[in-house]
Structure 1
């Protein structure tokens, strides 16, 4: 599905969809690694219905957005895009970032010398990332780089990765995240260099430095919310305690029955938590 808008990042064009009226308070939603802007469909609709202007963006190297020309996917590239997007809106947005999108938002807010957002929502991501969960994600992404013979095969792979979520019978939604190439196989819609580049966020040398995340978090002064999937293998109780020490004013909401993909696992509970927080944060 073609994007409804093209926004300017830090040297790349980023595909976006916009819901809500012009002039309403903006909310910029940043998806997780390997996902696309379509992961926010329910949340964007709920925000628009509540009087916000929801902007969902494909991160660089994902979906319909430009790939990094030099294959550079270090966290500072994603964070620079967040700053550029905020500047381009003409009004400070609330930032909602899941996983990679949350890391980019955290670094952007914490390292910027000026305000770039009114509030920050971190979706199942924190300064402490559990290694076992991260390895599970990386293995899933790397396995998918070989592509799939059919959409059914892709659905089977997802079901194995997220066993607590029912396997969909309607596979049309997968067409938003997969592309069929000339060899007839289906491939995830992201730049493979995001994974294979050793200096990238998920490369062997590109793991986001934990102290860098902690230092950025210490500088966050805007209202902050962590929405954690109670079944998450990425954000542990220790992760929550560390974030609360670094950002004492941060609020935390646990979503029962949800794993790392909180918005997809429990849409209604996720939307309710975000809407309430954004409304109170102003």
Structure 2
């Protein structure tokens, strides 16, 4: 089997508060060494952190491409999302998410490149500062900066809140997604949504903990000053990717971020919005692979 067709293995990490965190993993160094497969030991591992309300499957195509280049790649379900444990105390602060990420990096046991979308990007900023440049070697922020657009963030929360009671059918869920992401081509079949939904008591529910939304003081987006200072202190290579259609990261916010973090690089995807990785995955993956492998 060629490396480009290797499927990820599902694995489990132990996060803070003893939570089990599920991930997809390509090219586990130990497994690849035993099997004699191709693995580039000279490069850091890649750890991908999704946005709020998403899960590890949002990275599948990019993970596959990075894995095909011989990189060790981990796409993590954050606490309360996907198949990872939910926090009994509804603890979903950026500090808690960062504590999980630091634990995962310890278990990976190698330096990493962090790729974080939205909530995952903010988590990545704090994690990179806490871990230090010898552990987190590079950081990619996907359509997020500490000083985001509040209207865009509110639209995300409104979408998540409005469907917290689930859908009668996959078709209803597909209609809701199409209305929320009008710029994205609609899939022919809604079957792919099964990766993001779970069926309970005859209805389909998003696969994240509703408690994630119930404590606004825990919203990772509320830590603007903390995260901005953390970003300013970073000395590692940073790439900010913005979807040109984004209503969460404005052009003004990009200019402000690049002024405060002048060594950061910037790329814009013309056909993408806030969910950049899924909106234009080919262009997104090209930019990511170039930065990671450089």
TM-score interval w.r.t. the shorter chain? over 0.9
The 3-state SS of whatever aligns with 2:277 is: helix
Please tell me whether residue 7 in structure 1 is matched to residue 26 in structure 2: no
What root-mean-square deviation, in Å, do the aligned CA atoms of Structure 1 and Structure 2 show? 1.6
Q: 2:25 aligns with which of 18, 22, 25?
A: 18
**Segment drifting more, 58-67 vs 81-90:** 81-90
Equivalent position SS for 2:222: coil
CA distance in 2, matches of 1:198, 1:172: 32
Instruction: Compute the TM-score of the two structures, normalised by the length of structure 1.
Output: 0.93
Question: 1:186 — aligned with what?
Answer: 204
Aligned counterparts of 1:154 and 1:99: Cα–Cα separation in 2: 22
Aligned equivalents of 2:260 and 2:105: distance in 1?
Answer: 24
**Alpha carbons 1:128, 1:239 under 8 Å: kept:** yes
Q: Deviations over 1:96-124 (max 9, x none)?
A: 00001111011111244674311000000
Q: How far 1:47 moved relative to its partner? A: 0.1
> How far apart are residue 46 of structure 1 and its match?
0.5
Question: For the residues of structure 1 that align with 2:218 and 2:173, how far apart are their CA atoms?
Answer: 25
Moved over 2 A (4+): 110-116, 197-200
Q: 2:32 aligns to what? A: none
Correspondence for 1:118: 137
Q: How many Å apart are 1:200 and its aligned residue?
A: 2.4
Q: Are 1:152 and 2:206 counterparts? A: no
In the TM superposition, 1:94-243 aligns within 5 A as 94-112=113-131, 115-182=134-201, 184-201=202-219, 207-243=221-257
Determine if contact 2:47/2:113 at 8 Å carries over to the other structure.
yes
Q: TM-score, normalised by structure 2?
A: 0.89
For the residue of structure 2 that corresponds to 1:118, the secondary structure is strand
Q: Is the 8 A contact 1:83 1:116 kept in 2?
A: no
The separation in 1 between residues aligned to 2:27 and 2:133, in whole angstroms, is: 27
Mark the runs of 5 or more structure 1 residues left unpaired by the alignment.
none
Maintained 8 Å contact 2:133/2:235: no
| Structure with the largest fraction of helix | 2
SS at match of 1:254: strand
| Structure 2 CA distance for partners of 1:3 and 1:138, relative to 1, 3 Å | farther
Aligned residue pairs total 274
Runs of 5+ unmatched residues, structure 2: 1-7, 30-38
Q: CA deviation at 1:198?
A: 3.6
SS for the counterpart of 2:258 is helix
